[in-house]
Structure 1
Amino acid sequence: MSQVDAMSSPAAGPSSPSRETVERAGLSKLLIESFYTNRATADKERRTRRKNLENQLDQLQCSQQEREDAIKEFGENESRYRRIVRQKMSINDFLTIKVIGRGAFGEVRLCRGKGANEDLYAVKILKKKEMRQKDQVAHVRAERDLMRSASENDWVVKLFYSFDDEEYL
């Protein structure tokens, strides 16, 4: 029996995917779910902002021209905001001031934004290789999701940006 015949024979049974394949499939699923969840949330927030604007314009009893101008300006502002959100961020967009903590997978730095945004940020830099070796990917993803969704909670650190490169998150 040839090697191909042995693989396709019913006695051999279906081969199960490797652990790496299962992990990659799981990560892909999370990435896709996260993308569409964020997209739906952003669309809902944009519709809410538009409805609030229209309610305010109704209360102010604006003329039709003023109303059209306000809605046009709203659309331009939303477009500008979406363009900013889509911008790719990197560690090069921040100036490191001081390392304020070290942990098992990386460090936390106090950084200042470059350019127009000169706010102070705590930037957590994690080594991807070590997280994978110690099987902590799900924990890190859960931490990111928690910080992203808890923006109204004063007890949880707010997530402003997240980005990665080949070596670090």
Structure 2
Amino acid sequence: MENNVVVAEPKPAPRVGVVLILLKGKSVLLGRRRGTIGHSTYALPGGHLEFGESFEECAARELKEETGLDIEKPEYLTVTNTIFREIPKPAHYVTIYLRAVLADTSQVPQNLEPEKCDGWDWYEWDKLPEPLFLPLEEMVRSGFNPFPTE
């Protein structure tokens, strides 16, 4: 008698991304993505939340790794729940949005991960480039305004 064991392939699990809306006047910092998910779309700096990391620690670490910039006053803003169906392997991301300002306004963003990004630039919130990375597009379409209202 044969012992036929069927091993089910594990379902993909949602990943947690943390992104930073870095404010400079009426502008935000965006980079054009390179890679499988969202290739050639404009996205905020950020990345995957690591085990044991706070949202603020993740945002500061990812920004430093990607641009060399330092921030102050990071604060939680909102979250999106995005399913990427149009890529070779479907992906599900819960994206946490924080906002912050530069610790030193004379800092200039560098492209420290050219294999992942074509470069960084400042864009006015009401004149964002297209196409936007899907989670950012969903957040923008919802009408969310990342700028303080004071």
TM-score calculated relative to the size of structure 1: 0.22
Q: Greater CA radius of gyration, 1 or 2?
A: 1
Return the structure number with greater relative CO, CA threshold 8 A, min gap 6: 2
Question: Of Structure 1 and Structure 2, which has the larger fraction of its residues in strand?
Answer: 2
Scaled by the length of structure 2, what TM-score is found? 0.24
